[in-house]
Structure formats: C-alpha cells, structure tokens
Amino acid sequence: MNYHELTRKLRSLGCVFDRQAKGSHEIWLNVRTGMRTTIPNWGSKDLKAGTISRIVRDLGVTKDHFEKA
C-alpha cells in the first residue's frame, strides 16, 4: 500500500491532515478519537506492513475497520 491508498482509507475513517512534519512526513489526526500519528509521504513507494499497522494503532482504529474502508 502506498501513501495515496493509505490516506484515502484514513479519510474514509474520519482522519484529516493536521500539519506538515519534518522532511517528507505528515501529522494526521483522527477527529473521532483525537489521536495523532506521523505518516511518511513517499508518493507511489510502498509502505512497510509494520509502518501501516503502527499508523492504524496510533490513530485508534481497529484493523477490521481499516481493512473495510
């Protein structure tokens, strides 16, 4: 999964872009839970499965909800 696919799923789950972080990273906010995470913006380069799992966990989204989004 690349950055664009990930952010599309996160938006459908109620997450929004909060601000630009250092380098190619962004801070995203889950407005439902108030939790934040950092997401690397590597364009079309695939993100590692562990990175995606950590992002989902940081935002307080269940794995099932994320997969269905």
**Res 25: pLDDT:** 97
- State the pLDDT at residue 47: 96
Q: What are 40-59's pLDDT values in tens digits?
A: 999 999 999 999 999 999 99
Give every CB contact of residue 38 below 8 A, 6+ residues apart in sequence: 21, 25, 26, 27, 28, 58
User: What length does the chain have?
Assistant: 69
pLDDT in tens, 2-31: 999 999 999 999 999 999 999 999 999 999
Write out the two tokens for 47.
């993100």
What tokens were used for 55?
Answer: 């992002």
Q: Give the pLDDT of residue 53.
A: 96
Which residues are bridge partners to 25 per DSSP? 40
When the pLDDT of each residue in the chain is averaged and rounded to a whole number, the result is: 96
Topology given in CATH for the domain delimited by 3-68: Metal Transport, Frataxin; Chain A (3.30.920)
Q: Which of 3, 61, 67, 55 shows the shortest CA–CA distance to 28?
A: 55
